[in-house]
Amino acid sequence: MRIAGSVEPPLLPIIDTGIRHVASDVDDDLDDEEEELELVLFQGATNGAEPDLRQNARLVEAGLVPAKRLVTDGISRRAETIVVEPKGQAARIKLEVDGIPYPGGRLPQRGALAVTQMLKLLSGLEPKERKRPQRGGLKAEYEDKPYTVSVATDPIAGGAERLTIRILDHAVKLGKPDEIGLSNEVRDRVRALTNENGFVLACGAPHSGVTTTLLGGVLGSVDAYIYSVVSLTDTGGRDILGVAKYDGNPDDDVDTKCARIIRAENDVILVDPIKDGETFQAYAKHAEDLVIIGEFAARDTASGLAQLVQWSSPEVVCEKVRGLVSQRLIRRLCTKCKFAYRPHPKLLAKVGLPSDTKVLYKPPPPPAEDEEEEAECRRCGGLDYYGRVGMFEVLRMSDAVKEAVRAGGDAAAIRAAMKKDGQPSLQQDGVRLVAEGVTSLEEVQRVFKPAGPKKKKRRRPSP
């Protein structure tokens, strides 16, 4: 369903969006570019509903283009989330880009209502129902790339509704190891883990959405030329990296599945997220014959390993686990506007970088008072960062780690053993990204600081 083909209704302009490269407040000499501006294509509700657009002609006229503009704006600014929150005569738009909240402009109240109802209609929800929360979504395409746009509405005070849009970019769902930031060195260490039968598990915070990417990184590190991989889990209906699907009955139990796979001389299996000790132990019985790749919820590798010990026993963990991988995302400095500086030797020593490091990068200094807003970088829109990359930590079951596990070690003892071994921590991988000019020390500090999200500060010289 291509709604783009319908009669173009008059525009309800989004006001005060603060967007440099999309909205109508671009420079005069950019008019050509503006006219070529492409709007997102909506391609049908994810629940399969077919909304009657003719029946809702007035809503379509008032809401379709503004809804497209809002979503286009979000996608082109790389927002994961767009929230439209009515307040007084206008509705505030809040964006989340790379995990950081930003103001996204405002919509007149009438426009916000039309956009909200329109997106509900397109998502196969009830446009007029405003008293109960609704959840839906639609398929979309922008610049030839597919997206899934989830739409949630929640009633708030005064009979209004909050609209929450989440944009899922399929292109980044399962990246290759180098695309998601795995250095060659980390990839080699992950690959070494998968060269021997046993568990190689990814751990991440629950519902963080990064575990899929991480799984892509771990799975992508398996040497596909040597090993054959079978998936026992739903990989979102897509073929990934030459992974075969389990050809038996999906309802088979773990023992039946593993026996069948081993008979077919497959080497590596990808399993559903492991949620309990029972499942972990069921797979552990076959860990001597297979490489078992999966994920489970844990804050980092050391606490993950402690969790596995609780789920089974020190012996099972020492014998069957080859290693764990965890990931955390960090923002990349914008390559266009990042600012080179010569680091002080004391700073280098403090963060553990080589003393001969000549240059590091940080966000550009804030514009001087007399500078025009146009001085803002057009690539990142003045956000200083563009996209995120993973920092990785690989726990190898070394002798020191096994010793800590057998001693009934908790996460702290396991971490100490890793350190003793010289196994690099997540922070150290972050510092590696600083040394490579990918991110800044400020960003590493922000990520590892145990505080809530902070708004970007635009420091200006005091008068």
Select 346 or 459, whichever has its Cβ closest to Zn ion.
459
Cβ 379 to Zn ion, closest distance in Å?
A: 5
Select 160 or 333, whichever has its Cβ closest to Zn ion.
333
Residues 148 and 170: beta-carbon distance below 8 Å: yes
Select 204 or 364, whichever has its Cβ closest to Zn ion.
364
Q: How far apart are CA 376 and CA 371, in angstroms?
A: 10
Cβ 169 to Zn ion, closest distance in Å?
A: 20
Cβ 333 to Zn ion, closest distance in Å?
A: 8
Cβ 439 to Zn ion, closest distance in Å?
A: 13
Chain centroid to CA 417: how far? 30
Select 210 or 337, whichever has its Cβ closest to Zn ion.
337
Cβ 361 to Zn ion, closest distance in Å?
A: 12
Select 20 or 130, whichever has its Cβ closest to Zn ion.
20
Q: How far apart are CA 120 and CA 324, in angstroms?
A: 42
Q: Applying CB under 5 A, which residues contact Zn ion?
A: 334, 336-337, 377, 379-380
Select 170 or 456, whichever has its Cβ closest to Zn ion.
456
Select 289 or 376, whichever has its Cβ closest to Zn ion.
376
Cβ 380 to Zn ion, closest distance in Å?
A: 3
The two tokens of residue 159 are 């009979």
The two tokens of residue 320 are 């069957």
Q: How far apart are CA 382 and CA 17, in angstroms?
A: 14
Cβ 30 to Zn ion, closest distance in Å?
A: 17
Sign of the alpha-carbon torsion through 236, 241, 246, 247: positive
Cβ 384 to Zn ion, closest distance in Å?
A: 6
Select 18 or 124, whichever has its Cβ closest to Zn ion.
18
Residues 162 and 93: beta-carbon distance below 8 Å: no
